[in-house]
Structures are given as C-alpha cells and as structure tokens.
Chain A
Amino acid sequence: MIPVSWYLTLAAILFSIGVYGFLARRNVIIMFLSIELMLNAANLNLVAVSHYLTDLRGQILTFFIIAVAAAEAAIGLGIVVALFRNKATVYADEIAQMKG
C-alpha cells in the first residue's frame, strides 16, 4: 500500500506548481488552469486523508469542491468573455486602467 505521505507530498508539489503558474503566467486562461491545480491539490489531500482515516467527510468536501470549481470556472470564463469583447485581450498585464 502506498503510504499517505506520498499523496500529501504529491499534493504539495501540485499546489506549488499551481501557485507558481498563477504567479508567473500572464494569460488569464492559464491562470485559471493553475487555480484548478491548486484546488486539485487540496482535493488530493482530502481524499487521501479521508481514505487513510476511513472517514467520509474529506470525500464529501471533495465533491463539493469539484462542483464549486466548475461554477467558478464558468463565471471566470464569463468575465473573460466580457472583457475580451471590450478590450480584445486575455493578458492580465494589459488591463491596468484603474490604479493608485
């Protein structure tokens, strides 16, 4: 059996990749994908621990997270579409109208 710590390490790596991608990339779509990575790192943690503790809470939370992530992605894409109509760009560094 694979020890639970392996899962946790994998999740940590996944989370770090997500954070890195989110901070480093300028394309809003890629940034969304990075957030998905972060969420899935949390999911992985939850499922692994849930299995390890034979407690269902973690898996329930995972289901909720997956559902919410879908809604979140839809809204995020909606915002990007609206933005694209006005500004014709999906690069985060090209939108800096408000500042100060």
Chain B
Amino acid sequence: MPIYLLLLPILPLGSFILTFLFGKRLGRKAHWLPICAVLSCFGCAVMALLDVINGVTINTDLYSWISSGSFQVSVGFLLDELTAVMLIVVTSISTLVHIYSVGYMHDEPGYYRFFSYLSLFTFSMLMLVLGNNFAQLFFGWEAVGLSSYLLIGFYYEKESAANAGKKAFIVNRFGDFGFSLGIILVFLTFGTLHYDQVFAQAASITDQTFPVFGMVFDLPTLIALLLFCGAIGKSAQLPLHVWLPDAMEGPTPVSALIHAATMVTAGVFLVARCNPLFALSTTALNVVTMVGAVTCLFAATIALVQVDIKRVVAYSTVSQLAYMFMACGVGAYSAGIFHLFTHAYFKALLFLGCGSVIHAMSSEQDVRKMGGLKKYLPVTYWTFLLATLSISGIPGLAGFFSKDAILAAAFSSPIGAGKIAWFVGTLVAGMTAFYSFRLFFLTFHGTFRGTEEQRHHLHESPATMTVPLILLAVGAVSAGWFCIPPILGGHAPWISFLAPVLGEPGEHLGHATEWGLIATSVGAGLVGIATATLLYVIRPEIPDRLRDAWPKVHSWLFNKYSIDELYDGALVQPAIRFSRKVLLHVVDGKLIEGVVNGIPQAIGSFGERLRKIQNGQVHTYLSVMSTGALAVLIWMLVR
C-alpha cells in the first residue's frame, strides 16, 4: 500500500489531537499545523489521483479490528476512481477553507478549538470516502456527524447555535437508524461488509424477499431504501432537510466546507458507491429520483423569497443536492458525481463569498440591509459573480456542464420518473438562476441599506480570505471542462474515467434532441436571470407589489412551507406535551424516577449495607473468607 494512502487519514488525525491538546498555548498560531496537515493531504490526494489515472486501484485491508467467526470488522482502504475524485474534492476545499478561516475566525475565542475540529472533520470525511467496507463507512458517517455537531454549535454560548447543533444531530438520528438497519441487513444477506464481496454477490439476491412484521418486501429494494434513508438524512433531502438551513448558525467557513461541499454530499457518494445494489431495484431508483425531484423544486421555491443571505445559499444547496440524487436515480451516477464535483467549487465559493460579505457587514446577514457592496468588496464581487453565473448554468462555466449532463441523462432515462426529473430539473434551473441573481443584485447592486456604522466599517477582506475565493473561482469556472460532451466538441473523459466504478449510461440521444435540451436549460437560466434583473435592478418596486398581491404565497414560501412548524406541531410539541403530561407526572414521577434514580439508589443503598461488612476488622474479613471457603468446599463435596 502506498504511503500516501496511510498519511491521508493520519495527518489530520494527528493534527486534531495535537491542536486540541496543545493549541491553546499557540494562540493565534494554532492554524499552522492543521493547514500544513490538510495541504499535505491535498498532495497525497493528487498522488492518489495520478496513480488511479495510471490504472492503479487499491483495495486492501489494513487490519481487522474485530474478528470472530464470520463477523469481521476491518479497517481497510479502497482507492478507485470514485474515491480519487472524492479525495480531491474533500482535500482541496478543506485546504482552502482552512486558509480562509485564518482570516474569518481571526477574532474568535476558541480559535485553536475551531481548527482542531476542522482537522477532526477532515479525518472523518477521509475515513468515510476511503473505507472499503460498510463498517468503516458507518464510522466515518457518524464521525462527520459528530464534527458537524461540534462545529455548528461552535458558538455554544449562543442558544440558537446550540439548538441548531442539537437539531442536526437528532434529525440525522432518524436517517442513521434506517442506515444502520440497512448495514445490518447487508451483513445478514451477504455475510460480509466488504464492498467488493457484497457487490460481487449483489446479482444473486434479485427476486429474493425479506419478511418484516408479516409483510414481504423485495430484498434488494429494502436494502437500497434503508441505505438511502441515511443518505436522505445526511444530504438533507425531504423530509429530513430541516436541519441544514438551521446549521447555518455555525461559522461560515464550516457552512462552506461541511454543509455545502463535502459532508452533505456523503449521501450522494453512498448511493454512487452502492450503485450495484441500487441497480437491482427499479422501485428504489424511482424513489431516489422522485425524492430528488420533489426536494429540488421544493427547496428552490423556498430560496426565492428568503432574506438571510446564508439561508438562500443553504436552500440552494439542498436543491442542488437533489439534482445529484436525480442523476443517481436515473442511473447516471457519473453525472451525479460530476455535479458533486463542480457544485463543491461554486457552492463553496458562494458560501465563502457570503462569509466575506458578512465579515464586512459586521455580522449582518439580512440582504435587505445590504446593497451596493460592489465598490467596497471588488474581489468578493467578481468571484461571487462567477459563482452565480456558474450555478445559473451559463455555458462554458462548471455548473452548465454538470447540470446539462444530469438533464440529458434524466431525459433519456428508461425509468418512469426520468421525464419528471428532467422537467423539474429544467424548471428549477430557471428558478436557480433567478434566486441566485436576486441574491447577487440585492447584495452588491443598488444602494446601501444598512446603518451608517456598518457602512463605515465596510472593507474588503484580508488576503487569507480573498485568495481562497480567487482559487475557488478558478474551480467554479473550469471544473466543468473535464466533461465537455461530444456534441460540444469534447471527449467527456470524466465519464470514461469513472466508468469502471459507476458504469456508463447506456442511452444516447440524437444530436437534435441534445441541442434542444441544452437550449431549453440555458434558456430557462437566461429567463431566470432576466427576471431577476427586471425585478431587482430595473423595476425594484415590483417584488413588493408581487408580495402584496399574493401575500399567502409569499408567506407560505417565506415560512418554508411551514415544515418546521408542521414538525414542531405534529411531532415535537406533542412529544414535549406527552413527555410533560404523561412522562413527567405519571411515568417520570414514578417509573423513570424509580428507574433512573431508583436503581443507582437501590444499588447504592445495597452497597452501603455491603460496606458495613467491609468494616476494617481483620476478623470480619477472615470470617467472610472462611465462610466462602467453606461454601466452596461444601460445593465440591456435594457435587
């Protein structure tokens, strides 16, 4: 096994431990070790990619952690095309976010803690993508969840941040419950947790069924859907999307790294990695596609009216993740991973741009109080513009190629939900362009609407923040060039590169259809941009009139379809009421109180009585001992 593969998880882990333990003494220098570590990781990832390009794939067990009979939990690495892509995404974004944080977190208390958590996250994410078995995947899955929880709640004195951390944690438990059931079912079915062995046997389980509570389920569908539960939770798809917008309470670099570029895409990675399992069940693929399509539309509509700069981008993330699931659902895994790749750059750029704006605005996040920032933040302005163009699908930029690949795949897909996915995808492409430019115009154009004091403090961010922005802008522009479709004169090397893991899409479209699709999606994007320009630059009074004309629609969207309220009303409040009334008075008063306090108390008082025997007198000890000895001897005699 090449050494870089070992270094990949070890460097960030070591950096986490050292920074966590000794970072306090380093003060404002605490970032050096994590940055060096993650930069070296990026180097390792590049070496890994080069090796993979040269045809080296590695699948090896480092050692087995627990082995007992057939139950084997091992730590091992799988390096193939998919892993290599993920490694590049994770390490490059992580590096840039680390550097950016030096400027962004400059005045924060707990500076070293922040960097140590970032390292912990990088370690967990690398373990997640590098693992060659489901157990390690699960470990990484939970570990990224933990570091996400720690980072969302970084400002733990702030109640909303602490609550957001908790919410993310609890909502993810629902998904992870299904996910762990899925892994157990995989083990029960295949007798192993190693990807290669599971996937090799995958074909043998078609048409098998599995009974649950008297109902009989199709086994491949059940496995795929249970695994998908985990993906829904981690990648914030309906109905478990509620945690992601709240997670914006965390520091902005964290939002860029974890809640846009890497961790939330773990769900897509999971589906892509398990594509041999998903391929067995059309039902599961349809479910994945439909969840993607519904979430895509749903999140985009909410993003239309939000006023918190980070929340707009957060809903946009949910919507873009849904694109990736649509791609996976229609079997175009490499298109999904391609969108994951390009999205990582332009979305990280958007978030970091937001961070730069928030930094300049003295922590103001409401776009209604911004405006006209163009002249104060030139670098942020131009990079943000590139990201916005990219996400809007303007030809030539990264977002265009990946979105186009997904839409083409959806249109040509044989599965039922394919055409729906295409329609929703195209519609949302227009909406995406609209809300992205709305955000852009509200923030950077027009007149400044904030306070005098805020205006006084406006400044471009330091170089540690702008340089990552510029580098990400390069990615947001050029990341798409790896997969220029043949119709536009490219070779799409991306697809053939990932084909050994993800397979190649079977359907090919005619030239005319393909041109038509490109024209439609670009057209939708342009319409979106034009509308945004009309509403927020040329006739800025129209939005208010629209809002007054349809107050219901607006408040519905503004309140995010009241999903949070629905959950609160239907689940959280009843649970709290139930726990207050029933649990607190009846169960807690007697039962829980009895169990939680009673057992330790009972044990304690039993212990107190036992302690009386241990009274310090040698002869008491001797008599206990002799009684014991006598008992042993009598037992031996009777036996």
Contacts and interface: CB of A to CB of B under 8 A. Distances in A.
Q: Check if A and B associate.
A: yes
A22 B622 contact: yes
Most-contacted residue by chain A among B611, B616, B623, B626 (CB, 10 A) = B616
A97 B617 CA distance: 9
Interface in B596-639: 611, 614-619, 622-623, 626
Contacts of B614: 99-100
A92 interface: yes
Given A23-B623, A23-B626, A95 B611 contact: no
A68 to B, nearest CB: 21
Most-contacted residue by chain A among B614, B619, B626 (CB, 10 A) = B619
A26 interface: yes
Interface in A4-49: 19, 22-23, 26
B487 to A, nearest CB: 84
Nearest to A22: B622
Interface residues of A, number: 12
A95 B616 CA distance: 8
A26 B616 contact: no
Contact of A100 (B611, B617, B623): B611
A96 interface: yes
Nearest to B615: A99
Nearest to B608: A100
Nearest to B607: A100
Contact of B616 (A22, A23, A98): A98
Secondary structure at the B interface, as helix, strand, loop or mixed, is helix
A92 B617 CA distance: 7
Contacts of B623: 23
Contacts of A100: 611, 614, 616
Contacts of A23: 619, 622-623, 626
Interface in A50-100: 92-93, 95-100
A92 B619 contact: yes
A23 B619 CA distance: 7
B616 A96 contact: yes
Contacts of A96: 615-618
Contacts of B622: 22-23
Contacts of B611: 99-100
A93 B615 contact: no
B626 A93 contact: no
B623 to A, nearest CB: 7
A49 to B, nearest CB: 21
Contacts of A19: 626
A16 B623 CA distance: 15
22 contacts: A19-B626, A23-B622, A23-B626, A26-B619, A92-B617, A92-B618, A92-B619, A93-B617, A93-B618, A93-B619, A95-B616, A95-B618, A96-B615, A96-B618, A97-B616, A98-B616, A99-B611, A99-B614, A99-B615, A99-B616, A99-B617, A100-B616
Interface of B: 611, 614-619, 622-623, 626
Interface of A: 19, 22-23, 26, 92-93, 95-100
- Closest 7 pairs between A and B when the two form their complex, measured CB to CB: A96-B616, A99-B616, A92-B618, A100-B611, A99-B615, A96-B617, A23-B622
Given A19-B626, A23-B619, A95-B616, 5 more contacts: A23-B623, A23-B626, A93-B619, A99-B615, A100-B616
